Amino acid sequence: MADSPTEGVKSVARVFDLLELIADAGGDVTLSELSTMAGLPLPTIHRLLRTLVSLGYARQLANRRYALGPRLVRLGEVANRQFGQLAKPQLKELVERLGETANLATLDGDQVIYVSQAPSPHAMRMFTEVGRRSHLHNTGVGKAILAQLDDAAVREIIARTGMPKATEYSIDTVDALLADLKTTRERGYAIDDGEQEVGVRCYAMTVPGTPVPTAVSVSGPVARVGEDFAERAIPVLREIVQEIADVTSAA
């Protein structure tokens, strides 16, 4: 007999819960781990996963663990493009008011992905390709997002990704990163001071209330982006991230 409408809705909710749990676990889990995390019996988990695998939204690895499937990539890319377009007016406003490049990035697994950019009018400017993925520990947007997590979650992410040094100024120990994140939480914004690219300084702040952790940054050469720039930039950044939050919640 077919599922009742109520059962159908419940099954859909469970499917999305499973995808979220796999993502939260770092990308792959065992059947029993999912059963424990979801609080559902193994046969139910197995049935739902079998459907997800057949549709390409999940896949079973050689070690019998389950991972997110390739069909989710396309959905994520389309959603990111739409989100990026939604926030484009606010990024342009940021550039108009501060004169430096503005970026919007979201958390994608254990990295950030840049989903929108408004370039600076200056000939010498910062450029990050939309769609590019970067590590969290050495980017302004990445550190702003990490600062929203507790230290245990940060340690788990770093254990999976490591801490490759993009420049000589990149943070390369967990303790140093946690100290930096503590300062970020206290002041309300993150700074990338030559950690991703020598000679470039970036200020970043998270967008409140988004379903996926999201941050906005403004960056440029250190010759233009100094302490006086920060005094002007931080209040404007606060306005812009709230505007983006308002726009996305109303969409």
pLDDT for residue 101: 95
- The pLDDT of residue 82 is 66
**d(C-alpha 87, C-alpha 80), whole Å:** 11
pLDDT for the residue 2: 46
The whole-number pLDDT of residue 84 equals 65
The pLDDT value recorded for residue 17 is 85
Please tell me the distance from the alpha carbon of residue 28 to that of residue 172, in angstroms, as a whole number: 26
Query: Which residue in 169, 162, 168 sits closest to 135, CA to CA?
Result: 162
Give me the pLDDT at residue 1, please. 38
pLDDT at position 78: 65
Query: For residues 201 and 220, is the Cβ–Cβ distance under 8 A?
Result: yes
pLDDT of residue 6: 62
Mean pLDDT, the chain cut into blocks of 10 residues (251 residues total): 55 83 81 88 89 88 86 69 78 96 92 92 80 93 96 94 94 96 96 94 94 92 91 96 86 60
